[in-house]
Amino acid sequence: MNSHQEIRWEQARSDLHVFNLLREAGVEPCHQLHYLQMIAEKLAKAYLWRSGSPPPRKHAGFVNFLRGLGLVENERRAVLASALGFRTFVQLHHWIRAATPLAHELERLAPALAGDGPNPEYPWPHDAPANYPARYEFSFWNRLVGTTPGRRFLKVIEVAVDRFPIYA
């Protein structure tokens, strides 16, 4: 892990800590989703810094992170799969395929990408707000709670942060 990665990973760890406090407190899903977004983004940027060059600033980090995991060199596959809690790289690959639509959806919730639609931070639509996040039922949240891929998504993000130094 280089120093650029370490800085971003440390911030992702701190965000994960707050995320777990929010989960423990059972606060409105919008706040939990906001932190989940930040964790995913920082984890992705930490990983993508492994080349030594800065990753793009745009919100597409976590999907690229998943793609990068799927393309890892053969000799690192077993270590990566094990670090993320999978028995084999093939099983990790299956998970990546299941998780990628969720990653896209999480990224699209960011205010910059959500347009005038639901996002976890600000009321919408911008010019005539009629909804606000704290009282909105996010379909993405329902998928995190109500599907096996959603729950697994949460679990893998958590271990991906905790065990980042193993596969960075």
Partner 1 sequence: MAVVQFDRDRMAKRYVSLNRDLDPGIQRILYLPKHASDREIRLLVVNELLAEMTDDMFEPVVFRFNVGSEAEHKLLVLDVSPSQWEEIDRGTLSLPRGWTLEEAVDFAPEPAR
Binding residues (CB under 8 A) for partner 1: these are 23-27, 82, 85-87, 91-92, 94-95, 98, 142-143, 145-149, 151-152, 154-155, 159
Is the Cβ–Cβ distance between 100 and 66 less than 8 Å?
yes
Token digits for 167?
């596969």
Minimum Å distance from CB 26 to partner 1?
3
Neighbour-count burial of 56, counting CB atoms closer than 10 A to its CB (0-12 exposed, 13-18 middle, 19+ buried): exposed
Q: Which is nearer to partner 1, 23 or 50 (CB)?
A: 23
Nearest to 168 by CA among 79, 59, 41: 79
Cα Dmax for the chain: 54
Minimum gap (Å) between residue 84 Cβ and partner 1: 9
Residue 57 CB, shortest distance to partner 1, in Å, is 32
Shorter beta-carbon distance to partner 1: residue 12 or 96: 96
**In the complex, minimum distance from the CB of residue 56 to partner 1, in angstroms, rounded to a whole number:** 29
109-125 as b/e: b if 16+ CB within 10 A: bbbeebeeebbbbeebe
Of 67 and 155, CB closest to partner 1: 155
Whether residue 30 contacts residue 120, with contact meaning beta carbons closer than 8 Å, is answered with yes
